[in-house]
């Protein structure tokens, strides 16, 4: 199959693209390589996928190894759809490009409207013009807001978001539902819970915790540390995304629109998560307890029974195993490379 992956240089996008290529599919990957966090990390991911990053020029396809073509382009760029993808026979679209970050959405709301609303609209219009292509798109557990009923189920109310980021993700679900109903396009939204693992984003808790502990810096714990997250290892996430992208569920008829939670279904208290990092690194955290931040939620917990029923999704990576792999990568990428660079 030929699959379009947006946000392929992002954390989840990289791992999904890697798995698709390893399974023998061809991928057209796009990413604007913005500076929300270091573009160097995104370029390193692309190098891992077989792209010669010195060849990258904006809006010009670059061929790599393993049936991957990469294009540095924004999903709002009209020529992407009218020219670059015009004659491509795309079998499925995996939409993972978005402006991420709950707290950042409070500081820079316009970026979220541009990328997560306008960009999603342009992509879904492309899908309307190519209705044979199944669309799988990234939603978020943040749509549940301050829901106090756990675990979160897809049938729970999601009309009270507490951040603009969450509001844009809920808007994506509504837009996709309307287009699916109007034009008969098969669309699946995946509500991601907290993903972590090698090549993870530096703005997310697993990295922030590990980086602070390793470098003997104070570590901020919001809501006085009384928070939990449904941390989900990235390989389990990528496996689930690819199952949804490449197969149809056993139920008949196949629904044209569906929403699923994709998480680990085993929430972990932040204090316990940090204790595991301390044990693996052999270093002690310097904890600073602070109040709840705007836009944050206290707990997340995914009920993934629907995804398990329809696609056989079964996350299998323990926190101990996942954090060990993440910290090994962190030390190799951030500690050892930095040391080598300093010493020539």
Q: Distances in Å between the alpha carbon of 80 and those of 13, 135, 270, 314? A: 18, 17, 42, 36
Q: Is 165 a catalytic residue?
A: yes
Question: Which of 309, 305, 297, 227 has its CA nearest to residue 263?
Answer: 305
Q: Distances in Å between the alpha carbon of 191 and those of 164, 176, 234, 332, 343? A: 16, 14, 14, 31, 44
Determine which one of 152, 165, 196, 311 is catalytic: 165
Residues with Cβ within 8 Å of 336's Cβ and at least 6 positions away in sequence, in order, are none
Q: Report yes or no: 185 and 93 within 8 Å, Cβ to Cβ.
A: no
Q: Which residues lie across from 134 on neighbouring strands?
A: 92
Distance CA 174, CA 166 (A): 13
Question: Which of 341, 331, 223 has its CA nearest to residue 281?
Answer: 331
Instruction: Kindly list the catalytic residues.
Output: 165
């Amino acid at each position: 199959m030929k699959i379009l992956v947006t946000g392929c240089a992002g954390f989840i996008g990289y791992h999904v693209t890697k798995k698709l290529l390893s399974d023998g599919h061809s991928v057209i990957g796009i990413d604007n390589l913005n500076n929300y966090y270091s573009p160097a990390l995104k370029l390193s991911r692309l190098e891992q996928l077989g792209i010669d990053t010195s060849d990258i020029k904006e809006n010009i396809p670059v061929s790599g190894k393993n049936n991957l073509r990469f294009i540095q382009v924004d999903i709002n760029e009209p020529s992407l759809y009218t020219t670059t993808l015009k004659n491509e026979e795309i079998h499925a679209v995996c939409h993972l490009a978005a402006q991420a970050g709950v707290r950042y959405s409070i500081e820079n709301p316009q970026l979220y409207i541009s990328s997560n609303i306008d960009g999603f609209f342009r992509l879904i219009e492309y899908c309307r013009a190519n209705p044979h292509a199944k669309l799988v798109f990234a939603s978020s557990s943040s749509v549940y807001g301050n829901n106090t009923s756990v675990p979160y189920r897809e049938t729970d109310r999601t009309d009270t978001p507490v951040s603009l980021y969450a509001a844009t993700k809920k808007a994506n679900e509504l837009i996709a539902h309307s287009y699916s109903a109007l034009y008969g396009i098969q669309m699946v939204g995946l509500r991601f819970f907290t993903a972590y693992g090698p090549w993870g984003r530096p703005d997310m808790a697993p990295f922030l915790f590990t980086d602070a502990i390793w470098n003997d810096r104070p570590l901020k714990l919001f809501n006085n540390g009384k928070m939990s997250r449904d941390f989900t290892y990235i390989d389990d996430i990528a496996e689930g995304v690819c199952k949804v992208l490449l197969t149809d569920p056993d139920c008949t008829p196949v629904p044209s629109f569906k929403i699923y939670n994709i998480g680990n279904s085993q929430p972990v208290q932040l204090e316990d998560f940090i204790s595991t990092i301390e044990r693996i690194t052999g270093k002690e955290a310097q904890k600073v307890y602070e109040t709840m931040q705007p836009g944050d939620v206290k707990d997340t917990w995914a009920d993934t029974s629907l995804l398990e029923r329809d696609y056989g999704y079964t996350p299998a990576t323990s926190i101990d195993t996942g954090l060990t792999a993440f910290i090994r990568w962190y030390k190799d990428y951030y500690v050892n490379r930095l040391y080598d660079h300093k010493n020539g």
